[in-house]
A and B are shown apart, each in its own frame.
Chain A
């Protein structure tokens, strides 16, 4: 059985673009204009924009598939101009749309290309190929000697990612890698990329025109506008709640409230602070507190503050002794890491109208009901309205 994780992974390195310009001969206006971009080590930066905005050109300048007309690209402190382009590219993983696998080579041979160029010995390459296939979720025994045309689109792109990771490069460039896949496969590969990235922590530059993909994948998003400049470079939530311009807002399109539901974590909103009591508290004691609170119900937790049971005033009336056995057991919880969308889903499917939220180490952090979510949506909308008013007032 090959090892699940790479033995030692090279983590990402920072990339800086300094006043990078690309003018194509006879192309009139430059495709990329004095672009500055700081990419932090180990982050996924998405270049997002309509076709022709220069996002692909920008990405291709990083591995010098396109030479900048002027400006500097500094990778881990080293100017890319000072590195031989072929050598530079062997240390930058490259993933393109439809994977771009060589059809006359087996899956293993495709993955082995970069290690071969780097002069690895046969045994080490074979080991690495199996390790990578396992990493991207393909059984080595089954896929090693297969030709790419026998694979589905999703499988091909997995091999594409494996090929890019072959020599363990610190940087990965991905040019609309999931663009040609069906929505379900695309979602799954996005999820897996994020899962991989948790372990690998590469610096990834990801080009897409798909807003949802950008919001999901990106640690930061650079929204680009024709011709070749960045209009906003920020984290996804900030781009949604605080678009830098009319253009950004238009490009994001409608449905940004729904997108916020997908982006906002339960831990980030104001939760319903239902009172809670440890299971060894006396029933009469709890009843008094619950009546004072006025909600008419409360949560019983264990010694570690983890939610156990719901109790109402009716459950408690006339009872004595510890409250631990009163009321009904909690049937479902929501993690503070869940998105609001997932939380909404859980609430709609739950037996109770309210669900406890578990924070760190699964301790009780508050409770969520449909009305809590609704309030959160409303406050997001109110913030948005306020911002618009402010902008139209200023403009």
Chain B
């Protein structure tokens, strides 16, 4: 059976698994983005908590993904729960770190201007600091997404949903019928998904950073 025949044969299943994979990654990154930005916003002004947050996320990051998933089995069992938890934990680091860096990089002069014209802390954060830090935060989320794609595949180890199922079932019966086809299908599927997501982020970046676009009706210098 060639790869094409394999894919044709199992088209419905593969589409379903791809959709599951994409949906899992998207939801996990969304949760991680909300959590990560909140942690970043809560800590960026003070050096010690922000160092702590970055370090904690960094420690989590160094745990190998298989080990992490294995460790999550006792408390969470098999299936969606440990997979989602692991992905969210890994996705946190780039988002937290980039949120802190992005917010710290905002010109203090602009924050001073915002406060000086009467913006409250919250308003300054929402109207000035976060929008200005947004490109950096978005990069963090983008990295987190790429990361989650890979971890999501490994999550099949704990019977998580997605394309990892193809990869692991292929690896489990290596040498057997269609083993290579299954593994290839899973791997290529993840790669394609990663590219699609990355394209989406480029688009989001374009749409949400107006200052990067050439201004309409530009003025002479």
Contact = CB atoms under 8 A, between A and B. Distances in A.
A104 B219 contact: no
Contact of A104 (B113, B119, B123, B131): B131
A143 B109 contact: no
B114 interface: yes
A206 B114 CA distance: 19
Interface stretch (B31-39, B178-186, B208-216): B208-216
Contact of A96 (B112, B127, B217, B220): B112
A13 B129 CA distance: 33
B119 A142 contact: no
A113 interface: yes
Instruction: Among A89, A91, A101, find the residue whose CB has the most chain B CB atoms closer than 10 A.
Output: A89
A104 B215 contact: no
A103 interface: yes
A152 B220 CA distance: 9
A90 B110 CA distance: 16
A147 interface: yes
A216 B113 CA distance: 26
Given A102-B110, A150-B218, A65 B116 contact: yes
A63 B117 CA distance: 9
Contacts of B215: 106, 145-147, 150
A89 B124 CA distance: 13
A78 to B, nearest CB: 16
A149 interface: yes
Interface string A278-308: 0000000000000000000000000000000
Instruction: Among A63, A90, A100, find the residue whose CB has the most chain B CB atoms closer than 10 A.
Output: A100
B116 to A, nearest CB: 4
A114 B216 contact: no
A22 interface: no
A87 interface: yes
A219 B113 CA distance: 26
Contacts of B114: 102
Contact of B110 (A89, A100, A163, A164): A100
A96 B219 contact: no
A65 B112 contact: yes
Nearest to B220: A142
B118 A87 contact: yes
A310 to B, nearest CB: 48
Nearest to B213: A147
Contacts of A101: 113
A143 B219 contact: yes
Contacts of A143: 219
Interface string A124-159: 000000000000000001111111011110010000
B115 interface: yes
A107 B117 CA distance: 15
Interface string B120-145: 10010001100110000000000000
A182 interface: no
B217 A89 contact: no
A163 B118 contact: no
Given A113-B119, A143-B219, A146-B217, A96 B113 contact: yes
A88 B117 CA distance: 9
B177 interface: no
Contacts of B112: 65, 96, 100
Contacts of B127: 102, 113
B206 to A, nearest CB: 14
A103 B209 CA distance: 11
Contacts of B210: 104, 147
Given A90-B118, A117-B119, A146-B217, A100 B109 contact: yes
Interface of A: 63, 65, 86-91, 94, 96-98, 100-104, 106, 113-114, 117, 141-147, 149-152, 155, 163-164, 173
Interface of B: 109-110, 112-120, 123, 127-128, 131-132, 209-211, 215-221
Leading 8 A-B pairs by shortest Cβ distance? A100-B113, A90-B118, A89-B118, A94-B116, A104-B211, A147-B215, A146-B219, A100-B109
Given A100-B116, A102-B132, A143-B219, 4 more contacts: A104-B211, A106-B215, A145-B217, A146-B218
